[in-house]
Amino acid sequence: MSKLRLSRLLRLQSVFYNKSEKRLAAAIKHMVGSKPFNLKLYKLAIKHASVANESINGLKISNERLEYLGDAILGAVVAEFLFIKFPYRDEGFLTETRSRMVNREALNQIAIKIGLSKIIEKEFKGKNLSAHKSIFGDTLEALVGAVYLDRGYHFCKKFILKRIIIHFDVDGIITTTTNFKSKVIEWSQKESKEVDFEMLSVSGNSRFKEFHVQITINGEILADGKGATKKKAEQDASKNACEKLKLDI
């Protein structure tokens, strides 16, 4: 508790903010939902390694440590979010869905949605951003780390739930996460039927391949599917099989 009160005192520093600090504090308030206690943390969070020019004890002062911390906190909060949202799904599904949510591209998109990208662009002042494809997502994780250190776990969790996770298309992600193949296998075991995944053909050249897979149940053809890898073709065939078998997915 005393730590929190100390943090609140830090907010009094805001009377000494210069113009750019005032602008950053306002932007943080807009994104995070509350004024920062310790603005330094947020200044660090937007400091990408490529614009970092200070060092201390041989360590470049950049947002990479905050990114490491934010990644772990984000992972924990998303893990719990999915744990609660899907009480009857196994840990394989939860793990897979989580890794699809906290991947770099998804985080990049969210950083743009919440306006973090604008702040980063300002920080880069005309330098070429395109060389750093993941900079938005990386900075979003660093922001999570800053919020965690500044405001503690509960505040940070609320921030992640209400202002980050809300932007995920969880249902869209799940459609591609469901392991249709294991659904088909589970079904076959329950029904004591023999299921076979048979590769019919591989076409294409060394750069683009197409696999064609067929599923038989007790020797009878049930469904087929295609894809750029064997796994994807099996998944596609299994999805068709699930539909034919009217399995809940």
Active site residues: 71, 141
Question: Which residues sit opposite 202 in a β-bridge?
Answer: 211
182 contacts a copy of itself (rule: CB under 8 A): no
89 contacts a copy of itself (rule: CB under 8 A): yes
CB 213 within 8 A of CB 234: yes
Site string (140-179) toward a copy of itself, x via CB under 8 A: --------x----xx--x----------------------
Q: Is 196 annotated as a binding residue?
A: no
Distance in Å, CB of 153 to a copy of itself, minimum = 5
d(CA 140, CA 163): 11
> Given 3-state DSSP classes, what are the helix, strand and coil percentages for the chain, each rounded to the nearest 5?
65, 10, 25
Is residue 229 exposed (0-12), middle (13-18) or buried (19+ Cβ within 10 Å)? exposed
56 contacts a copy of itself (rule: CB under 8 A): yes
Q: For residue 13, what are the CA distances in angstroms to 28, 39, 145, 189? A: 16, 9, 21, 66
Q: Is 67 annotated as a binding residue?
A: yes
Q: What are phi and psi of 227, to 5 degrees?
A: -175, 170
Q: Is 198 annotated as a binding residue?
A: no
Determine which residue in the list 10, 51, 52, 72 makes contact with a copy of itself, applying CB under 8 A.
Answer: 72
- Which residue ranges make up the site for a copy of itself (CB under 8 A)? 56-60, 64-65, 67-69, 71-73, 75-76, 78-80, 83, 88-91, 94-95, 98, 148, 153-154, 157, 186, 248
Annotated binding site for Mg(2+): 67, 138, 141
